[in-house]
Amino acid sequence: MASMTTGFVDARLRAPGEDKEALFATLAARFGNRFSMSQALREQHANTLTWLMLEPPDAVLFAETTAEVADVVKLCAKARVPIIPFGTGTSLEGHVNAPFGGLSLDLSRMNRVLAVHEADLDCTVEPGVTRKALNDHLRDLGLFFPVDPGADASLGGMAATRASGTNAVRYGTMREAVLGLEAVLADGSVITTGGRARKSAAGYDLTRLLVGSEGTLGIITGLTLKLHGIPETILSGVCPFETIAGACNTTIAALQMGLPLARIELADEVQIRACNAYSHLSLPEVPTLFLEFHGTALGAREQVEAFSEIARSEGGGELVWAERPEDRNKLWQARHDAYWAARGLRPGAELLTTDVCVPISALAACVVETRADVDRLGLLAPIVGHVGDGNFHVMPVITPEERGKAREFVDRLVERALKFEGTCSGEHGIGEGKIAYLAAEHGLGVGVMTAIKKALDPLNILNPGKIFALA
């Protein structure tokens, strides 16, 4: 595998200083105050939100049109200067770091909703539109975009990292949500992939190739997305459990029974303690499921009753549910704030957030083994998860002295997930943080991936140092 990447980056990424300086002078003259080399802005554009080392770019540029993106890419290619696409910086595996320096290309000002086709349940947006802004735009039309990774991420970034989130069990991930893309390739050419049709058998699926490519194959400058009607009734609730296994087994049984759950999220007792303190809740500090049911008034309540019966058989307590939007929003905001709540458990400590995903039938065993491993190592590590699709996160809150233990834990967590025929990342992606695990999961498939990268980006200027270990 190493032979396929040897020499791939070589001196081409280490452009002579005068080439980079000349490029930056050109960009400064052309874009004025939309180009900056200030240290504070550069560091902001390498925000990792986790324990990965900060690697700022050499400069930041705010693009406003696809044509500008294409021009900048052509100039950077000529100077052999890396480009790191940037949306809102909420990714968790170092995707926006700049290990080889270069230019952070901020797309947040490309934030227009270009078209909404109500009858076809789709829309076209620029990459800087955030999921909350899109849903605000759609609300009066009775429509919504369901992919919800928690953070108010940009839709371009969500597509680039194949984001998922709390609604994936019913509505799918960005892989299912994206109908088509506009993207700028490494030579500055602009392509469109897919369209507005709900299916196609025309050629290679370039849309799926770019979704999840983490900015390494092209820079997304436009998206066409599937939308859904806002349900007639939405019920949210929490259900406590005696054991984490009981919560997982309830999830498995509910899905096997065919309950159309919109969301089902796990928080272990450590995370509930953190949420109570951070979000001013008073939940019992035991393993807990956060749920949401969508449908008609009668159908949603029937789902609640059916779920409650399953939960009781697995040691679950009373399902307390809420229908008023303000009550539901408070509940889900507490779940979305799990990261910040976990940091509050140990002020001043580092936080490593990682995720794996396993087949649903293996969920209970994998989570129970993971909890036991955390306890054996003596780590403080809340567990939360989108357990409806077998995806869960662990967030060790550590001191510098515990870094070795944490790395050992993550290595075994990934090994465990692969043993259960799962994946090293259900939604965080690879970035810099999980490069070491990709070969163990995909084997010779990594060689195919690097061949695609080399074909589309021979100079390796698009987000280098992500997904693959470069020689």
Question: What pLDDT digit, counting tens, does each position of 82-94 carry?
Answer: 999 999 999 889 9
Could you tell me if 72 and 173 lie in one domain? Answer: no
Q: Choose one of 229, 264, 283: the last residue of a domain.
A: 229
The residue among 226, 192, 18 whose CA lies nearest residue 121 is 226
Q: Is the pLDDT of residue 234 over 60?
A: yes
Could you tell me if 35 and 141 lie in one domain? Answer: no
Share of the chain above pLDDT 90, in %: 81
Residue 151 lies in a domain: yes
Handedness of CA 48, 51, 57, 58 (dihedral sign): positive
Cβ proximity of 72 and 105 under 8 Å: yes
Q: Which two tokens stand for residue 48?
A: 């990792």
User: What is the SS3 assignment for 129?
Assistant: coil
Q: Is the pLDDT of residue 6 over 90?
A: no
Helix 66-79 with 17-31: angle, nearest 10 deg:
160
Q: What is the pLDDT of residue 395?
A: 95
CA distance 273 to 368: 19
Could you tell me if 128 and 88 lie in one domain? Answer: no
pLDDT by residue (tens digit) across 268-286?
999 999 999 999 989 999 9
Q: What is the pLDDT of residue 468?
A: 86
Could you tell me if 381 and 250 lie in one domain? Answer: yes
Cβ proximity of 69 and 184 under 8 Å: yes
Q: What is the pLDDT of residue 17?
A: 57
The residue among 394, 272, 260, 381 whose CA lies nearest residue 337 is 272
Could you tell me if 245 and 346 lie in one domain? Answer: yes
Q: Is the pLDDT of residue 464 over 90?
A: yes
Query: What DSSP designation does 118 have?
Result: T
Residue 74 lies in a domain: yes
Q: What is the pLDDT of residue 232?
A: 92
Residue 31 lies in a domain: yes
Could you tell me if 336 and 187 lie in one domain? Answer: no
Residue 288 lies in a domain: yes
Residue 164 lies in a domain: yes
Instruction: Identify the band that residue 323 occupies on the pLDDT scale cut at 50, 70 and 90.
Output: confident
Q: Is the pLDDT of residue 50 over 50?
A: yes
Instruction: Identify the band that residue 18 occupies on the pLDDT scale cut at 50, 70 and 90.
Output: low
User: What is the SS3 assignment for 197?
Assistant: coil
For the chain, what is the domain count? 3
Could you tell me if 334 and 369 lie in one domain? Answer: yes
CA distance 268 to 394: 10
Q: What is the pLDDT of residue 3?
A: 31
Q: List b or e across 211-242, with b for residues whose CB sees 16 or more CB atoms inside 10 angstroms.
A: bbbbbbbbbbbbbbbbbbeebeebbbbbbbbe
Write the CATH number for 343: 3.40.462.10
Residue 461 lies in a domain: no
How many C-beta atoms lie closer than 10 Å to residue 307's C-beta? 26
Q: What is the pLDDT of residue 101?
A: 95
* Domain carrying residue 194: 113-229
pLDDT by residue (tens digit) across 295-311?
898 988 898 899 999 99
CA distance 55 to 175: 29
Alpha carbon 141 to its chain's center: 27
Handedness of CA 161, 162, 167, 169 (dihedral sign): negative
Q: What is the pLDDT of residue 8?
A: 41
Residue 60 phi, psi dihedral angles, 5° rounding: -130, 140
Could you tell me if 258 and 140 lie in one domain? Answer: no
Q: Choose one of 176, 203, 229: the last residue of a domain.
A: 229
Cβ proximity of 236 and 328 under 8 Å: yes
What is the strand order of the sheet 83-86 is part of? 35-36, 59-62, 103-106, 83-86
Q: What is the pLDDT of residue 328?
A: 86
Could you tell me if 375 and 403 lie in one domain? Answer: yes
Q: Which two tokens stand for residue 110?
A: 């490309």
Could you tell me if 334 and 409 lie in one domain? Answer: yes
Q: Is the pLDDT of residue 15 over 80?
A: no
C-alpha distances (whole Å) from 133 to each of 139, 152, 161, 234, 253 are 10, 9, 19, 21, 36
Instruction: Identify the band that residue 413 occupies on the pLDDT scale cut at 50, 70 and 90.
Output: very high
Helix, strand, coil percent content, the chain, rounded in steps of 5: 40, 20, 40
Q: What is the pLDDT of residue 327?
A: 84
Residue 467 lies in a domain: no
Comparing 227 with 150, which gets the higher pLDDT?
Answer: 227
Tell me the helices (H) and strands (E) count for the chain, helix number first: 18, 20
Q: Choose one of 197, 214, 229: the last residue of a domain.
A: 229
Of how many residues is the chain composed?
471
Q: Is the pLDDT of residue 154 over 90?
A: yes
Cβ proximity of 117 and 226 under 8 Å: no
How many C-beta atoms lie closer than 10 Å to residue 411's C-beta? 13
Q: Is the pLDDT of residue 48 over 80?
A: no
Q: Of the given ranges (58-62, 137-141, 195-199, 394-398), which has the lowest mean pLDDT?
A: 195-199
Residue 153 lies in a domain: yes
The residue among 124, 126, 123 whose CA lies nearest residue 156 is 126
Q: Is the pLDDT of residue 117 over 70?
A: yes
Could you tell me if 341 and 242 lie in one domain? Answer: yes
Question: What value does the mean pLDDT of the chain take?
Answer: 92
